[in-house]
Structure 1
Amino acid sequence: MGDVKNSNIEKALSKVPAKLLRNWTLELTSRCNLRCTYCSVPHAEEYGMVDMSAERIEKLKSLMKNSGVDFISLSGRGELTYIDGWEEIVTPFFEMGLPTHTVTNFQKPLTWEQARLMACFSMLTFSIDNVDREMTRKVRKGGDLRNVIYNVNMVKAAGLAMGRKQMNMHVIAVVTKSSLGGFKDLAALMVSLGVQHLKLQDLVMDYSDRVDTVDISHISELPDDELVDAAQDLVDARQICLENGVGFYMHPSLETIINKALGHSQKDEIVADRVTTTNVGDHMRHGCRLEEGETRDCIQPWQLAILLADGGVEPCTGSYGPIGNYDFAEKPDEFFNSPDMVELRKSLLTGNLGQACKFCGTAKAIKVEDFQKKVQNYIRERLTT
């Protein structure tokens, strides 16, 4: 793709070849065995509890053929192992010969055969927020830290028995007031369990005003002295990971909070507002402040589609809401370039963002012209490989 004039750049980069869609994320179910206090599952009843039908699964397999997909994630709002017969559902995806991934809460104790099947995923992500069993029970209702440790070791052992020397395991931990002070310990536990990467995730959706059993509010609301201690805990967690060869990442909004609390930045850059999006309902969002001429550094709408259990399509991992439907699509282009998807891309390319993106903490701020160049480069690279 050649350079385009600024006046036409959003048009040239907003409707793009479906070959760019490299990550197909299939939400096999929106049902979950937990009721995490910060998750949309217990708070957004309008989405419902849906298992992806066999017809939809076959439809998506058909759409994938000759599409250029190079990564399949079997994940979404629900828990894969909560589906009756999940073993038979996932096996055909392994046979496609593509890298596969899933996200699990590891709360259902696995049998040896189930652990062997989990070990077939190219990459596994599991979720746990701290090492305190009682706090885990309060925040992740129905959860027990012991089940996570048991299942991690079962899958690792099954992988070894199958000749896989190291499992590619990643961890997501959600940062709220309730989990502060324990991330250094969590990092140490993850190192001991042999995971490859720890990601500290900010509250994407803040439902704290609906929860009175535990304080899951956003850490930016802490008093300054407590915020310094919280920031140091996150820094210590990062240090333990890096010293032991474990990858570490935290959302840009958390980086902003840490830098200000520890005196590395004088800007008060976290902003918040109430947002309502389809499927996750009404909630608060907290993100890095955007200055004039800036946008969100989010390229997901050019490379990702989350294919929901009910037939909807979401463009990112930030719970933006559905932008299309794959039920009647004859080719990926029909949902990858739906009118709503094209408009979302235009908004990112120009900085004219809706509320869901404007206050999203998962992506940092970037100058509009730099983001446009980034998208152009991604398109060039993807179309030539």
Structure 2
Amino acid sequence: MHNETLHAETTPESLGDFRPQASSSHSPGTLVDKYGRHVTYVRLSITDRCDFRCTYCMAEEMTFLPRSEVMSLEESLRVARAFVSLGVSKLRLTGGEPLVRKNVMWLIERLGALPGLDNLVLTTNGSQLDRFAAPLKAAGVRRLNISLDTLDRERFRRITRIGDLDKVLRGIDAASAAGFTRTKLNTVMMRGTNDDEFLALTRFAVERQLDISFIEEMPLGDIHDRSRTYISSEETREMLGRHFELIPSTENSGGPARYWRIPGSESRIGFISPHSHNFCDSCNRVRVTAKGELYPCLGQNDALNLLPILRDGGNDDALRQAITDSMGIKPFGHDFTQQMDAPQVVRFMSMTGG
């Protein structure tokens, strides 16, 4: 019931034979903020809807955007082309759950063909991967991030409210069968909810040659008392270090994770630590929501609305100029530590894009 976000009048047929075209060339690093950081990575949400209701991401009763306020697939492609023409080389599709978006493969196939886009990746809850893994690989998606917070079926149902763990496990297998490598599991750390499973989740990843990142819970949306459930990366790393030899790695996937290696394993163990280890000094990314809001910082409320440019006759030069100008409002960083009990950012994670 949640897969009809596409504008009623917009279908692949009505869009015609729209193909990616090379935009006017810009040298890499065109998008530079006032602190000298080069933005080369965009996280593009294509829907705020999801087939799960994870407790740390959504309220139990969510009000979703009306279709008219969500970027069409053509508009999403246009935004992506503008960013790539400005030197962005990595694009991550997010949601909600991106694979519930109607006709999503139309967009992904065209993104996969964009000249200059070196790294097309996707974050998913895994529920739709058993049917989408092979088409995603064929379309040029390079890598998948799959959310997995528990291996216990009943606990999975409690965390997601409506999710089916077996579907996700089938999706992980389907991704491997389709030829995806370096697939990464994302585990949100929650004391009293899944902190007794971090060892089991790590072993699960190592046995299947998957990467895994443990993520400190972020204070987005008024959901619950995070000061009670918060676990630091250091605490989890110390616990895992009692069972695995963890060797610091200098590898970088282009995102905020800091990685560790286990000797004899291809898996990387990552930690994303917005509270305990602020990674803002090297931030190279911005987010675009499904309604076309460009957020230069996940932890701030300042945003630039791209939808009026897209719908009121603005050409591609105007779109690129607006994106370039948005670098001026990118702050040096967030302060999630101060937001723990009373978050200043009250939008839910599903609204911003994972």
Q: What is the TM-score when the length of structure 1 is the normalising length?
A: 0.62
Give the 5 Å matches for 1:1-385.
14-15=33-34, 20-40=38-58, 42=60, 45=63, 51-64=70-83, 66-75=85-94, 77-97=95-115, 98=117, 99-108=119-128, 110-111=130-131, 114-119=132-137, 120-159=140-179, 167-176=181-190, 177-195=192-210, 197-205=211-219, 210=224, 217-219=228-230, 233-236=239-242, 239=245, 242-243=262-263, 244-252=265-273, 287-288=275-276, 296-299=278-281, 303-316=284-297, 318-327=298-307, 328=309, 330-338=318-326, 342-345=328-331, 347-348=332-333, 355-356=335-336, 358-359=338-339
Aligned residues: 280
Gapped runs of 5+ residues in structure 1? 1-12, 160-165, 222-227, 254-286, 290-295, 361-385
Structure with bigger gyration radius? 1
Would the aligned equivalents of 1:30 and 1:48 in 2 still touch at CA under 8 Å? no
Gapped runs of 5+ residues in structure 2? 1-31, 247-260, 341-354
Q: What whole-Å deviation, never above 9, does each CA across 1:260-279 have from its counterpart, x for those lacking one?
A: xxxxxxxxxxxxxxxxxxxx
Q: What is the TM-score when the length of structure 2 is the normalising length?
A: 0.67
Of all paired residues, the percent bearing the same amino acid is: 18
Would the aligned equivalents of 2:134 and 2:175 in 1 still touch at CA under 8 Å? yes
Would the aligned equivalents of 2:130 and 2:167 in 1 still touch at CA under 8 Å? no
Please tell me the root mean square deviation across aligned C-alpha atoms, in Å: 3.6
Give the SS at the match of 1:337.
helix
Give the SS at the match of 2:175.
helix
Q: Please state how far the C-alpha of 1:207 moved relative to its aligned partner.
A: 6.7
Q: What whole-Å deviation, never above 9, does each CA across 1:211-237 have from its counterpart, x for those lacking one?
A: 9xxx9942459xxxxxx9977544357
Question: Quick one: which amino acid aligns to residue 312 of structure 1?
Answer: E
Give the SS at the match of 1:148.
helix
Q: Please state how far the C-alpha of 1:357 moved relative to its aligned partner.
A: 7.2
> 1 CA distance for matches of 2:188 and 2:108?
27
> 1 CA distance for matches of 2:181 and 2:292?
32
> 2 CA distance for matches of 1:16 and 1:80?
32
